[in-house]
Chain A
Amino acid sequence: MNELYPHPRINGPIIQVTRLSKHYSNGHGVIPVLRGVNLEIHPGEMVAVMGPSGSGKSTLLFILGLLLPASSGNYQFLGQDVLNLSRTDQADFRRRRVGFVFQNCDLFENSTVYENLEFPLVYAQVERHERPARIVAALERVNLAHRLRHPANRLSGGERQRVAVARALVNQPQVILADEPTGQLDRQNGHMIMENFKHIMAQGDTSLVIVTHDTQVAECCHRTFSLEDGVLYES
């Protein structure tokens, strides 16, 4: 169970997106990226979003994490409309509700693994004495507890991505949003990351939305969606 921010027991979806659109404007006109996307994600569910480059997969992920505003549509998180939150509330949402894993596993290079995992806890104002236990627990979920004091810049590619996963987990979010987390890893490390995800999802009611090109990664998920010309189809 999530001890930091107890997950409310719900029967419905965690994420419910309806008719979500996103377009960018440039000097020549409007470029549509997402067109009327509908999506529901339930607790503990692993969802893959596939599609060609530039199809808007990452854009969808960023909108789900409130890193980008949507142009129109409706996005409800645990039944609450989150598209019109203030900047402060958006930051609070990212702190408490979601964890991000990016393709190039951005770690703070000059910090240790411990310090990398401490940042989200600092922003969430977790008491200093509570942090070590949470950090160790998150690292144990990716089998990296032995690397606690290791400098981030001395980790292997696979280890770096697992630390990034642990960092996304440390605040015990309800959804993990992963943008091609295995994109820069070899097959073995990619497999290990997916096994980690499966193990984590099996433990609780955290959900995963993963953007990927890799069909093997998608096969690990409960449901797979395909994004083409801004429209989302369930495969």
Chain B
Amino acid sequence: MRIVESSVSTPEQSRTLKSMFEARKQVFVDLLKWDVPVVDGRFELDQFDDEDAIYVIVAGLEGQHLGSARLLGTTRPHILGELYPTLCAGPVPTGPDTFEITRFCLGLGQGAARRRETRNRLVSALVSTALEHGIRRYTGVAEMSWLQQILAFGWDCRPLGPPCAIGGSLLGALEIAITEQTPRLLEANGIWVSDDLRNGSFAEAA
């Protein structure tokens, strides 16, 4: 288990992780009614939350979770490969430079403006993380109701196959190419938050 968003100091990390699993339960189980396991009635954790999962977390000044995403390597079991390979028209994209974005989560109760800031910081952190760690491609399974917003971030995104109605929602598989140009693409859409701003006191700026 690894946290890569560096604004969280080490002693705060377990608190941040805990509040992330709580926020995931509030968002995915309580709000979106996903049928996923809940631990202790408070935390959403599944079989992919293991020691190799990587978490990109945007946290407030006290280390509390604001937004997060889970990255799974595609050379290990991951959601597209294990659960939804049929969403890909061709083979499921895998490789050491390909990671899957899962559990993209914006914590509740932030208000619309703060929520948008958290979203921008999280998307920017995902891109920075990729650039720092040699990740050239993200994949992911998305509800098509979010597709327009995912595309509007401005990054280079492609469908991997036709969407399918599964469990009451229309799901589709996407891939996002990450290059040195990606921050510029996000910037043109007002999404990009530079590393300096993300790691400073940005969360508290009014």
The finding on whether chains A and B are genuine partners in a shared complex, rather than unrelated, reads: no
